[in-house]
Amino acid sequence: MSEPKKVGHAQHLKAVNHPIRREMLKRINDVTVISKEDLFQDLKNSKIVEQEEVFDYNMQFLIQAQCVKMNTNNKKVSYEILPGGKVIENFY
């Protein structure tokens, strides 16, 4: 069994200090778990993210920084806030 990858403080700060990723974390934190479709649509309606590629890039960054966990159930993707992502509560 492999050990979980450790995330450095600098990478974690880079994840939560970016304006798009901060908005993503706020929205996930508000509901704990959200579908990819709902999160992307919410960010698009708020004019925070226009392209799905930009959304995917920033989400992957949050996953690698261990702020968010991706769940897949019946080909439906959802995101769950992790303790590392809860730090966003300090930005409210």
Q: What is the residue-level pLDDT of the chain in tens, covering all 92 positions?
A: 444 455 677 777 888 889 999 999 999 999 989 999 999 999 999 999 999 999 999 999 999 999 999 999 998 999 999 998 987 666 55
The model's pTM:
0.85
φ, ψ of residue 85 in degrees (nearest 5)? -85, -20
Integer Cα distance of 39 and 79 in angstroms: 9
The full set of domains in the chain, from first to last, is 9-91 (1.10.10.10)
Integer Cα distance of 44 and 34 in angstroms: 15
Cα separation of the two ends of the chain:
38
Integer Cα distance of 7 and 65 in angstroms: 6
Do residues 15 and 21 touch, judged by C-beta distance below 8 A? yes
